[in-house]
Amino acid sequence: MTREQLIRQLEQEYAVRREDNLSVYDQRVNAACEQCEGLRQLLDARRAALMNGLRSALYPATKNPEANAALPRTLNDLNRQIAQTLTAGGLTAEALAPVYTCPVCKDEGHLYNPTRRMCECFESELNRRMLVELGLKPTQTFEAFREDCFSDEPVVGRLSQRVQMRLNRGVCERYADQYPETDVRDLLLTGRSGLGKTYLMQAIAHRITERGYGVQYVSAYRLFERMRKAYFENNGESVQLWMEAPLLLIDDLGTEPLMENITVTQFFNLLNERQNAGRHTVLSTNLSLSELKTRYTERVASRLMDESKCRIVKFIGEDIRATFTRPDADAPSKGAAV
């Protein structure tokens, strides 16, 4: 589902929730009226006073500013009598309290002060469903990132893997926080398997989704398979979601089967159209830059190596998944960057 479809689905669920809670409230009021003699008549009198006051305000028969002058006094008197009746019946005012799952938005899902915006309860559930829809792991976040998973031994002629990952994490987090006003539109995460590329890519998706933006996340295998099928079926609509997504994340580029004159051309068209339209794309690959050029041709590589449009983030060091499978290694804790 798209973000808009999930919002509509949630709004429908909130409407059902309001109906369910209203039913629970009615049951609570009926039980209180059975227990407290005279309560029903007082509640009916209060409702009638409020409705009459509302009608007088909206449809005044005469221009009489004093028409509702006595209403506050009437309501105060009725409220006092209702409270006394509840107490006499062994109940408190909570017996007549409205039933809300979220008392902040009163199960509307939105607040209106000063303008319409999502309630935190609605936004949190929407983000959770977006992440589920994208197939992202709940632990792959910047907050759960553990740099101590990586070696602090210097790599020959370079920084240690731990320092490099700290820098890479900074680049990716700034990109997620600045989106959509990023320094460059695209990121290319390169390096061998097990170095944390997928983790940081998913952390980007988490952060941007939490900020209220739509994201599409797809493996290169699934993307290329869909593009190949779209070509043979002459059905471009099946890839429009990825073509038009404001932010597209493509994971594991280089692991998919290729048909050079079909899928490579389709991939070039995807990148070219997205860059021309100013849309953001993040890719991860186990291939080196020279391998990318060989596999996808110079035309595709040029789109990924244009520094004005794409930043290359290099990952170095040892596969930490192999490290933690050694008998003498400590297992990573939940949320580790693996």
Contact between 148 and 336 (Cβ < 8 Å): no
d(CA 33, CA 85) in angstroms, rounded, equals 10
Contact by Cβ (8 Å): 205, 331: no
Check: CB of residue 99 under 8 Å from CB of residue 70: no
140 and 30 housed in the same domain: no
- Same domain (yes/no): 90, 147: no
Q: Residues of the chain with pLDDT > 90: what percent? A: 50
Q: 17 or 319: which carries more pLDDT confidence?
A: 17
Instruction: Find the mean pLDDT for residues 109-130.
Output: 87
Residue burial 152-170, b: 16+ Cβ < 10 Å; e: rest: eeeeeeeebbbbbbeebbe
Distance in angstroms (rounded) separating the CA atoms of residues 280 and 250: 11
CATH code of the domain containing 156: 3.40.50.300
Task: Flag whether pLDDT at 259 surpasses 90.
Answer: no
Boundary residue ending a domain (100, 127, 156): 100
Q: Taking 70 as the threshold, does the pLDDT of residue 144 lie above it?
A: yes
Are both 92 and 144 inside the same structural domain? no
Give yes or no for residue 325 having a pLDDT over 50: no
Report yes or no on 63 lying in a domain. yes
Cβ atoms of 238 and 232 closer than 8 Å:
no
Given the DSSP bridges, would you call strands 110-111 and 117-118 parallel, antiparallel or unpaired? antiparallel
**Sign of the torsion angle spanned by Cα atoms 225, 228, 233, 235:** positive
- Does 107 reside within a domain? no
| DSSP state string for 192-238 | STTSSHHHHHHHHHHHHHHTT---EEEEHHHHHHHHHHHHHHT-GGG
Given 100, 125, 144, the domain boundary residue is: 100
Domain match, 251 and 195 both: yes
Comparison of pLDDT for 297 and 138, the residue scoring more: 297
Q: Do 96 and 139 sit in the same domain of this protein?
A: no
- Average pLDDT of span 100-119: 90
Asked whether residue 238 carries a pLDDT value surpassing 50, the answer given is yes
The predicted pLDDT at position 323 comes to 57
The CA-atom distances, in angstroms, between 57 and each of 67, 77, 191 are 8, 21, 70
Flag whether pLDDT at 124 surpasses 90. no
Q: What is the mean pLDDT of residues 302-318?
A: 91
Does residue 148 share a domain with residue 87? no
Contact 336, 149 (CB under 8 A): yes
Does 117 fall in a domain? no
Q: Which residues are CB-contacts of 286 (< 8 A; sequence separation ≥ 6)?
A: 190, 191, 192, 193, 252, 254, 255
Closest alpha carbon to 48 in 15, 17, 71: 71
215 with 85, same domain: the answer is: no
Residue 127 lies in a domain: no
Whether 70 and 149 map to the same domain: the answer is no
Whether residue 252 is found in the same domain as residue 151: yes
Domain-located, residue 278: yes
Domain-embedded: residue 120: no
Contacts 24+ apart (CB under 8 A), 136-139: 136/202, 136/205, 136/206, 136/217, 137/202, 139/334, 139/335
> 168-184, pLDDT tens digit by residue?
999 999 999 999 999 99
Q: Are residue 145 and residue 236 in the same domain, yes or no?
A: yes
Domain boundary among 77, 100, 123: 100
Residue 102 confidence class, pLDDT cut points 50, 70, 90: very high
**Within this chain, do residues 190 and 281 fall inside the same structural domain, yes or no?**
yes
The count of other CB atoms within 10 Å of the CB of residue 205 is: 26
**Between 66 and 198, the higher pLDDT residue:** 198
The verdict on residue 111 lying in a domain is no
Strand partners, 216: 248
Indicate if the pLDDT at residue 115 is higher than 70: yes
The reply to whether 113 falls in a domain is: no
Least confident residue range of 102-111, 128-137, 222-231, 303-312: 128-137
CA–CA dist 212, 175 (Å, integer): 15
Same domain, 46 and 176: no
Does the pLDDT value for residue 84 go beyond 50?
A: yes
Spatial neighbors of 218 by CB under 8 A, at least 6 apart, are 242, 248, 249, 250, 251
What is the pLDDT averaged over residues 31-57?
88
Domain that holds residue 88: 3-100
Into how many domains does the chain fold?
2
